[in-house]
Structure 1
């Protein structure tokens, strides 16, 4: 059974429990070895009030780690629910890497407070990271790596290693007096070697070093081609900046893929499955507005051939707007659902809440754009009845798109079909049929 299949079962298990028992169920899973990344995915699968309650009941030492593993909007939804005291206590537990991860998604005043609470050593590491751009690997390097002089003996190296407070390392980095990188050794090789052996004799061959200015995508590709679980990052002077490991590469690769997937509908990979209805409506509404401009362009093009169109010329000109607005609204919902299904975050326990959430978003955006488009159409053709007709069709089509954007991928998944491939085709057909039927059907009743 895959990790995501296990996750689906665990989400279902928590969903089926009584609300007051859900934190206990989650904590039992943590005691059985669940990692912070999986806990973060579980929290994302619950409506905001439930996820905040679950997060509060987590072991204190997991609070920051779990928040860092969640998407930006999910993290913000939890932080927004905290009291001032709770927020300050949470920020006080941040380290430099976590703060770097959070920095782009939090208000400046919260980031400033978090910086003021950082310990001196962590603040220095945070400042070093900020010397690099967001897309440069130097910004995301783990700077807490074990380094020892390259020209000492194994017995001396063991003494230095014992003084480190870090967890047992897999790799150790060798540096010279100027802190330039001189190689990487396996910790296990150090333990097995004779005490008088020089540590530089254990240096691993064919280790790829990454420039701190390398992009995230290029760094991930280098990590994929490497046989090592971590790679060193060097600056232009060959000084050791830190490392990235396979977990970071895997997480970054997933974010790059999700960003590309979501970008096609004006959304991003950080979007929350259960974001507040008004906030989601506003965010998606912007993209609907952009889409409206392209739909109007298509309608104007049809209008150029007015003389060859029958007496229902106005209907023919406005039809593409109805279909297009439903199509983009449905695509937004469909993309969000397909992504969540890929992570097995959707279960029988949260389907109803999800449909309710999407219908609320559809209703708000439907009414908003119905008013705008209805007014434009009424003024354009000097016909209030025509404006009201298209407004009704827009409301019906966007709400239908939201509903079927959830239902279609769920049904396709049950039928063992790929919702990512087949979902958009079916959804487009549904929104076109429903939109045109609502528009032309209403028009035939009130205008002819």
Structure 2
């Protein structure tokens, strides 16, 4: 997972400036400029900087990243950008690189590495690291058990408060303000904060305290649910246990925020058929192949809309005004439906929408669609009537707009809900389906009414 600094806006500005200076620099000047830059920035920022460079330049600058930082930089990069570097590294170099990898980093890299190199890296790990990697491998990409942090302070329930406080204070790398109590079998018993330890009598045993009442998360928990739990807890981290109650690690607030950002980026990219791991400078052939599928899908939907228009060819020949006004009908329906679609997809992603409140939301959105439909039907109908000096044309336009906006609101609710129930990502295909519905309904209504009212 990407290790980004907290001030993301400043980071983007700094990276943008560095990229501009690198692109303006001549060949011999680029190396020293990049070397000076990476001495002052973190691995996450180095990853962003490398991703911002064309592949040839990226590979040249990769050679300047210090061996100690290379693993962290690779982990922080998007999958496609990382793969572009890994493909160029000889096996001996990869073997040496993976000799410095821990369980958490290897889990991020495993999909981009040959199985033999992964097995070799695991065999050279310590027993704990090997155990953590094997545990993480049991979980899928959308389960929190795959991404646990294992840097935590474990304490037995019999330890005295003064010794527990001393142990927590010594854990400065990374700093933690909570310790986790486990029994002899590693089962989670509770968590205690530094503030609580300071307030306890020095000789009191931890097992005699109530500790924190925060419930642990389950390793099989969905990423979205787990990250929301951390964000709402008010704590820097939450413990995570397996189905038998054994403490497996923790999920930190930093990781939760990062996962939330990645989920947002993923949904944003999915609306146009791409994914969050897409490399900005991926090869032309690879990029065209990915986008060709989406273009093909859109072509099919456009052909369907064109077929509907073709059924009213005679009407369009007689009433040219209909051809001029058609794009307005489709555009208004598309925008209205997209507003509802976006709202519903967000509700599904955040767990706010369920069977219990679906009917209420549908009624509300239909009300909004009907109100806006009538409002803009009047405005556009009047404009169309005045434009073509024909009251009947304005009336046809008004009715078509009202119907299409209302149908768009219904589709904006129904489409993502149906896709979600069929285990399909509504962010990926919802907009295409919605556009097809609003175009087909809009054209059919508008041209059908035109045939009935305007054609003699």
Q: Same fold (TM over 0.5)?
A: yes
Q: What is the CA-CA distance between 1:122 and the residue it aligns to? A: 2.1
Cα deviation per residue 1:296-340 (whole Å; 9 max; x = unaligned)?
2222222323444549xxxx9xx99xx99xxxxxxxxxxxxxxxx
Q: What is the CA-CA distance between 1:132 and the residue it aligns to? A: 2.4
- Aligned counterpart, 2:307: 300
Counterpart pick for 2:179 among 172, 185, 202 = 172
In structure 1, what is the Cα distance between the partners aligned to 2:316 and 2:118? 60
Cα deviation per residue 1:230-255 (whole Å; 9 max; x = unaligned)?
10011222211110001110110011
Is 1:35 the equivalent of 2:42? yes
Cα separation, partners in 2 of 1:302 and 1:111, compared to 1, 3 Å: farther
Cα separation, partners in 2 of 1:310 and 1:14, compared to 1, 3 Å: closer
Q: What is the CA-CA distance between 1:271 and the residue it aligns to? A: 0.5
Cα deviation per residue 1:331-364 (whole Å; 9 max; x = unaligned)?
xxxxxxxxxxxxxxxxxxxxxxxxxxxxxxxxxx
Instruction: Say whether the 8 Å CA contact 2:158–2:206 is kept in structure 1.
Output: yes
Instruction: Say whether the 8 Å CA contact 1:220–1:252 is kept in structure 2.
Output: yes
Instruction: Say whether the 8 Å CA contact 2:227–2:260 is kept in structure 1.
Output: yes
Q: What is the CA-CA distance between 1:293 and the residue it aligns to? A: 1.6
Cα separation, partners in 2 of 1:117 and 1:178, compared to 1, 3 Å: closer
In structure 2, what is the Cα distance between the partners aligned to 1:160 and 1:8? 40
- Aligned counterpart, 2:17: 12
Is 1:102 the equivalent of 2:116? no
Is 1:3 the equivalent of 2:8? yes
Equivalent pairs counted in the alignment come to 317
In structure 1, what is the Cα distance between the partners aligned to 2:205 and 2:132? 31
In structure 2, what is the Cα distance between the partners aligned to 1:189 and 1:50? 53
Cα separation, partners in 2 of 1:109 and 1:20, compared to 1, 3 Å: farther
Cα separation, partners in 2 of 1:193 and 1:31, compared to 1, 3 Å: farther
In structure 1, what is the Cα distance between the partners aligned to 2:13 and 2:286? 27
Is 1:51 the equivalent of 2:27? no
Out of 218-227 and 88-97, give the one that drifted further.
Answer: 88-97
* 3-state SS, counterpart of residue 181 of structure 2: strand
Instruction: Say whether the 8 Å CA contact 2:168–2:177 is kept in structure 1.
Output: no
Is 1:215 the equivalent of 2:249? no
Cα separation, partners in 2 of 1:203 and 1:62, compared to 1, 3 Å: farther
Is 1:284 the equivalent of 2:316? no
- Aligned counterpart, 1:127: 134
Cα deviation per residue 1:120-179 (whole Å; 9 max; x = unaligned)?
432221111122232221222123432120221145446766998964543221111222
Instruction: Say whether the 8 Å CA contact 2:11–2:45 is kept in structure 1.
Output: no
Structure-to-structure mapping, 1:378-397, within 5 angstroms: none
In structure 2, what is the Cα distance between the partners aligned to 1:237 and 1:84? 40
In structure 2, what is the Cα distance between the partners aligned to 1:191 and 1:53? 53
Gaps of 5+ in 2: 1-5, 332-430, 432-456
Q: What is the CA-CA distance between 1:200 and the residue it aligns to? A: 4.5
Q: What is the CA-CA distance between 1:13 and the residue it aligns to? A: 3.1
Instruction: Say whether the 8 Å CA contact 1:230–1:244 is kept in structure 2.
Output: yes
Instruction: Say whether the 8 Å CA contact 1:14–1:26 is kept in structure 2.
Output: no
What TM-score results when the alignment is normalised by the length of structure 1?
A: 0.62
Q: Alpha carbon RMSD of aligned pairs, Å? A: 3.5
Structure-to-structure mapping, 1:38-437, within 5 angstroms: 38-106=45-113, 108=115, 111-112=118-119, 114-157=121-164, 167-187=174-194, 195-200=202-207, 204-310=211-317
Cα deviation per residue 1:184-204 (whole Å; 9 max; x = unaligned)?
233576579765343446765
Gaps of 5+ in 1: 325-423, 425-448
In structure 1, what is the Cα distance between the partners aligned to 2:159 and 2:7? 45
Instruction: Say whether the 8 Å CA contact 2:155–2:180 is kept in structure 1.
Output: yes
In structure 1, what is the Cα distance between the partners aligned to 2:211 and 2:34? 42
Instruction: Say whether the 8 Å CA contact 2:188–2:245 is kept in structure 1.
Output: yes
Instruction: Say whether the 8 Å CA contact 1:15–1:22 is kept in structure 2.
Output: no
Q: What is the CA-CA distance between 1:229 and the residue it aligns to? A: 0.4
What TM-score results when the alignment is normalised by the length of structure 2?
A: 0.61
In structure 2, what is the Cα distance between the partners aligned to 1:8 and 1:165? 31
Out of 183-192 and 209-218, give the one that drifted further.
Answer: 183-192
Instruction: Say whether the 8 Å CA contact 1:179–1:240 is kept in structure 2.
Output: yes
* 3-state SS, counterpart of residue 159 of structure 2: coil
